[in-house]
Amino acid sequence: MSRSRNANRLAKRLCRQTTLKQSTASRLAKQVRVYLGSPVPDASASHQRRLEAHITHVLADGFQDRQLNGALFGVREVRATAQHLELVLESAMADEVVHELLPRFDEHYGGIRGVAGLRVQLSSRAIVLGDALSSARIAVTRTDGQAWRLPTARDGETLLGDTRGLSPEERLEADEWAESIPSFADVPLRDLLLSRLLRRPALVNRAAEPHGFANCYTHHSGDLVIEWCCGDTVEALCATLLAHGFIDGVPPSDAVELASPQSILLGGDIVILRRHSTCLYGRSPFGVQEINEYIREGYES
């Protein structure tokens, strides 16, 4: 299908799915930079979406601006169906991703880090990480195909994954995620959108393309910010997500808000896209190469 026909169809869809004016919908639709060949399926079960959303949230907070080789959340590609999700992890980040995900008590932090209730269920070429409280699980493999080293406790940490059951503290953490305490987020919508982010690395990684990393962070359990500078404009990245079903099923009043020329809110304020108008790194005393080297050393220390 021609580019202009794609743009016209998307503009019409955005008019139905959002409260954007027709002129704004048309402007966004013309900025889509990439069309994936096939639609990306959602996880069909609510507990699966909840686990995938929790994983995305923990990885965003854990890595912030410490991704390598353009892999936001450490994910290079996915194999996704309604019943299954396999994350193919960037090999330079893979061990660190699994360490971030597995729950542990961190003395320095004074609480539990990682995805409460997550357990290693099977370990071979792929690790299966499953929720002890439901049948939700994901598989993780790595781009280099190398064997996994399961994480060991670091200074001040006690790993919680060795036991099948959950301690009362870990269960409380899991319950708080399930209810999105202390935010006021619409939990099913949060789970759907953060799960959709994890399932679309070919799209979200565009934010990390120019410098090999972008900044991800959260304010509370009900949101996630992706912040970058060069490359796609905020409208171009947003339009690319919208073209790939990102707001399907979201109430039009909450779907998309162009909050400022630099920031767009999706799903109310659950997913926040923010792009700086000038480069954050071009004039820094350290070039992008040096910053990447610094990030890499951090993983190995």
Cβ–Cβ under 8 Å, residues 66 and 88? no
Q: Least separation, in Å, of the C-beta of 278 and Zn ion?
A: 8
Q: Least separation, in Å, of the C-beta of 264 and Zn ion?
A: 18
Considering beta carbons, is residue 40 or 291 the nearer one to Zn ion?
A: 291
Regarding 289 and contact with Zn ion (CB under 5 A), the answer is no
Q: Which amino acid is at 165?
A: G
Omega before 182 within 30 of 0, i.e. cis: yes
Q: Which value, to the nearest 10 degrees, does the dihedral of the CA atoms of residues 43, 215, 240, 255 take?
A: 70
Considering beta carbons, is residue 188 or 282 the nearer one to Zn ion?
A: 282
Q: Least separation, in Å, of the C-beta of 1 and Zn ion?
A: 33
Regarding 230 and contact with Zn ion (CB under 5 A), the answer is yes
Which span sits near Zn ion by CB under 5 A: 6-14, 34-42, 226-234, 289-297?
A: 226-234
d(CA 87, CA 67): 15
Considering beta carbons, is residue 103 or 210 the nearer one to Zn ion?
A: 210
Which span sits near Zn ion by CB under 5 A: 95-103, 157-165, 227-235, 246-254?
A: 227-235
At which residue do the structure tokens 């953060």 appear? 194
Which span sits near Zn ion by CB under 5 A: 88-96, 122-130, 173-181, 222-230?
A: 222-230
Q: Least separation, in Å, of the C-beta of 212 and Zn ion?
A: 11
Q: How many residues bind Zn ion (CB under 5 A)?
A: 3
Considering beta carbons, is residue 232 or 254 the nearer one to Zn ion?
A: 232
d(CA 267, CA 244): 15
Q: Least separation, in Å, of the C-beta of 69 and Zn ion?
A: 16
Q: Which amino acid is at 115?
A: V
Sheet of 215-217: strands edge to edge?
A: 215-217, 224-228, 271-275, 263-266, 256-260
d(CA 174, CA 168): 10
Cβ–Cβ under 8 Å, residues 239 and 28? yes
Q: Least separation, in Å, of the C-beta of 211 and Zn ion?
A: 6
Regarding 208 and contact with Zn ion (CB under 5 A), the answer is no
Dig out the tokens for 170 from the structure.
């870990």
Out of 11, 129, 208, 229, point to the residue binding Zn ion (CB under 5 A).
229
DSSP annotation of 74? G
Sheet of 118-123: strands edge to edge?
A: 75-80, 85-89, 137-142, 127-131, 118-123
Q: What is the CA radius of gyration of the chain?
A: 19
Q: Least separation, in Å, of the C-beta of 287 and Zn ion?
A: 11
Which span sits near Zn ion by CB under 5 A: 51-59, 224-232, 244-252, 262-270?
A: 224-232
Q: Least separation, in Å, of the C-beta of 8 and Zn ion?
A: 32
Considering beta carbons, is residue 191 or 232 the nearer one to Zn ion?
A: 232
Considering beta carbons, is residue 5 or 283 the nearer one to Zn ion?
A: 283
Kindly write down the DSSP assignment for every residue of 183-243, as one continuous string. S---HHHHHHHHHHHHT-HHHHGGGGTTTS--EEE-SSTT-EEEEE-SSS-HHHHHHHHHH
Considering beta carbons, is residue 127 or 229 the nearer one to Zn ion?
A: 229
Considering beta carbons, is residue 70 or 268 the nearer one to Zn ion?
A: 70
Binding characters for Zn ion, 266-285, by CB under 5 A (x = yes): -------------x------
Residues that bind Zn ion (CB under 5 A): 229-230, 279
